[in-house]
Structure 1
Amino acid sequence: MSGIQGIVYLILIACLLPYVFSLLARLFGGFKVEDNQDPRAFFAKTTGLAARANAAQQNSFESLPLFIAAVLMAEYMVIPQILIMMMGIAYIVLRILYGICYLANWSSLRSVIWVLSMACPIWLLISIIRLV
C-alpha cells in the first residue's frame, strides 16, 4: 500500500465512523421507515443509549475537519509518512474507543479519550509548524 493510499483509507474510515454511530442510534431508538420523514425530530426525542449514540455521531462529525485538514496538510508538507499513519491510526482507534465510552456512559474516560484523539491531528499540525 502506498503512502497516499494509506492516507485515503484513514480519511475514508474517519468519514464513515459517524455513520456507524448514526446506525446504532437508529437501531437503539427504534427508528421506523416513517421516521425518515423527519430524522432530526426522531433523534431529538431519543433518550439513553440511542441519544448517546447520536451524540457520538455528532461529535464524530465535529472532529472530522481538523483531522482531515491535519492529515492532508501533513502529507502536503512532507511530514514523515510513519508519523502521519501513526497519528491517523491512533485518532481512529481513539475515536472508536470514544464512541464505546459514549455508548457505555463512561463520561470521565470518554473525556480523556476525546482529548487524546484530538491531540493526534494537533500533533500533526504542530509538526508542520516546526517544519516551516
Structure 2
Amino acid sequence: MAAAALNLRQNYSLYAIPAAWILSLAPHFYAVQLGKFDNRNPRSYTKSLESDQSIDAETKGRIQRAEGAQQNGFENVGLFAAAVVAGNIAKLDNWTLNALTGGYLASRVLYNLLYINNTTDGAANARSAVFVSGIAMIFTLFIKAGNALKGQL
C-alpha cells in the first residue's frame, strides 16, 4: 500500500540521508528508556551501567547493544551520504537510486533489531551479514556512479 502511494519514478534518494541519520539515532532513544540516562553526561551512559545494581544484566546488555548499534550507524552514515550524492551527481537512474538507498535503509532497520536483540552467535552472524549487505549497497552506488562518470571528469 505504501509503495503504491509512492511514485517510484521519482528520485527519493536524497531523503534517505536524513532517514539514515534517524535510524542511526533510534537505538539510543530505545536505550534511554531502558535505564537511568543522565543527559548532563550522556557519553558516560554505558559506563555508568556497570555499577548500577538496579538494572538486571539482560537489560544492561540490551542497552549496551543499542548504544553500539547507534555508534555503528553514525560511523557509516557519512559514507552512505557521500554515495547517495555521488549517485545523484552521476545522474544514475531513479530506480537504481531508490532501490539501493531503500535497501540500505531496510538493512539498517534489520541491523538495529538484530544488534539490540542479539544473544546468540547465530544472531551475531546474521547482524554481520546484514551490515555487509548494507555496505555493499553503498559500494554499489559508488561503483555505478564512477562507471557513469568515467571519462566525464
Query: Please, what TM-score do these two structures have when normalized by structure 1?
Result: 0.90
Structure 1 stretches lacking a partner, 5+ long: none
Does residue 112 (structure 1) correspond to residue 129 (structure 2)? The answer is yes
Asked if 2 retains the 8 angstrom alpha-carbon contact of 1:27 and 1:50, the reply is: no
Counterpart of 2:139? 122
How far did residue 129 of structure 1 move? 2.0
> Which amino acid is 2:140 matched to?
W
C-alpha separation between the residues in 1 aligned to 2:99 and 2:129?
Answer: 19
Larger Rg: 2
Counterpart of 2:30? 24
Does residue 13 (structure 1) correspond to residue 26 (structure 2)? The answer is no
Structure 2 stretches lacking a partner, 5+ long: 1-6, 50-59
Asked if 1 retains the 8 angstrom alpha-carbon contact of 2:24 and 2:71, the reply is: yes
Moved over 3 A (4+): none
**How many residues in Structure 1 have an aligned counterpart in Structure 2?**
127
C-alpha separation between the residues in 2 aligned to 1:7 and 1:16?
Answer: 15
Asked if 1 retains the 8 angstrom alpha-carbon contact of 2:14 and 2:84, the reply is: no
Query: Please, what TM-score do these two structures have when normalized by structure 2?
Result: 0.78
User: In proportion to residue count, which structure has more helix?
Assistant: 1
RMSD value, Cα: 1.3
Counterpart of 2:106? 93
